[in-house]
Amino acid sequence: MANRMWGGRFSSRPDELMEEINASIDFDQRFYRQDIEASKAHCRMLAERGIISAEDAKRILAGLDEIAREIEEGRFTFSRALEDIHMNVEARLAELIGDAAGRLHTARSRNDQVATDFRLYVRDTVDHIIGQIHALMRALAEKAHAHHAVVMPGFTHLQVAQPVTFGHHLLAYVEMFGRDAGRFADARRRLNESPLGAAALAGTGFPIDREMTAKELGFKRPMRNSIDAVSARDFVLEVLAAAAICATHLSRFAEELVIWSSAQFNFIRLSDRFTTGSSIMPQKRNPDAAELIRAKAGRVIGALVTLMVVMKGLPLAYSKDMQEDKEPAFDALDTLSLSLEVMRGMVADMEPVEEAMRAAAATGFSTATDLADWLVRELNMPFRQAHHVTGRLVALAEERGVDLPDLSLEEMRAVEPRITEDVYSVLGVENSVASRKSFGGTAPENVKRMAEWWLERLAEG
């Protein structure tokens, strides 16, 4: 027996293996809400344009509302034989209201239907993810404000470079996640056009009103080309690209949390809520949540690569290959959403170990640049010469087994006779960070102002 929804051309039903590879209902049922809302908008437009009767439209809308209730209450039976969410809904509608259900598919195809549903779903998900990014940024900015003056080592090449503040380091991630939110918002603006009414690929001869359905579904406008409307998946690619970059930022931060929470660094303490123990070593507190976020970035990046490979060789317009767009997108966006929520929780709970951070900041000759700057500023020395003098002083301190502030004035003058007692004013780590007052610098007063600026901006939405 042929599929009753499309099988007029066929005399027998598909092989079981064909059904297995062809069915998408196992995963595309998740956008039932978008499918039903798009169908309702299409139905109202058909009635408004006189393409179907007002009575049929009334019955269709009531039936669609009943199907939505059944799904939400767990009373709906999804059938793999009916392939996808569109035909499952339409088949149930026919059971509820009879032949009038068949009029709903007038002037549309599953091609524009799935493209519309997917855009609606991705748009809704992007809105949710932007909200989660903002919540993480708020948690970071609050923590930065609370610890704007806590000194820690800044690193390059994972080697101690210069002293910075903990708040300044956290605000670096606020900036990065702010750009992530911007990328999602940009992608949302571009995807917010309606494919509905493009039909299979060529449009339709019925006198439909695409502006009406676009407006009702919250789209900015209908898509201008019917072939593009059903064949484009760059809206998903763009969102997945934004997701992959965001997941990469989360992974970088997660890596730092793993390092910072180790006994060797001891820069932060993570709460019991986001750590686990060992089955054999009772002393362990493992940063498993951070490690999993670090690993899950691979899944998000992989989803982007998967869909790019699916799309790279497809001719216009629709090909069944495009059914493979949903599972990687669903998985990637679910994974990113979970990672954002977990990271927000870790940030809200974590506390810096201030003594350990400060002690580490004072090692590794972290104020060497401050010394070079002092030589330039106070002795009018060219920076390259100051760099050379400072390097000799670092070598001397290393030879003595001390840090720069521990060298005596006589030892320093043996290298550069013009050095005065005032040099010690720049060698302490607190003095170092306090001096970095340039815009975007790590001075505590800068950090506090910038944290407040971000918190105000996030509060304003």
Positions annotated as catalytic residues are 157, 278
Residue found under tokens 């920076």? 383
Contact, 65 vs 15, CB < 8 A?
Answer: no
φ/ψ of 73, rounded to 5, equals -95, 5
> What distance in Å separates the CA atoms of residue 140 and residue 344, rounded to the nearest whole number?
8
Nearest to 191 by CA among 207, 162, 214: 214
CB-based burial label for 69 (10 Å; 0-12, 13-18, 19+): exposed
The distance of Cα 402 from the centroid of its chain, to the nearest Å, equals 45
Tell me the Cα Rg of the chain.
31
Ramachandran angles phi, psi of 41, nearest 5°: -65, -45
Burial class of residue 355, CB neighbours in 10 A (0-12, 13-18, 19+):
exposed
Give the count of beta carbons closer than 10 Å to the beta carbon of residue 235: 21
C-alpha distances in Å from residue 279, one per residue of 79, 273, 276, 282, 415: 44, 17, 10, 7, 57
Q: Scanning the structure block, which residue is given the tokens 């201030």?
A: 354
The DSSP output letter for 423 is G
The string of DSSP letters for 289-348 reads HHHHHHHHHHHHHHHHHHHHHHHTTPPSS--GGGGGGHHHHHHHHHHHHHHHHHHHHHHH
For residue 1, what is the DSSP state?
-
DSSP codes of every residue in 200-224: TTT--SS---HHHHHHHTT-SEE-S
Find tokens 């929520």 and name the residue.
341
Token pair 């408004």 in the structure block, residue: 48
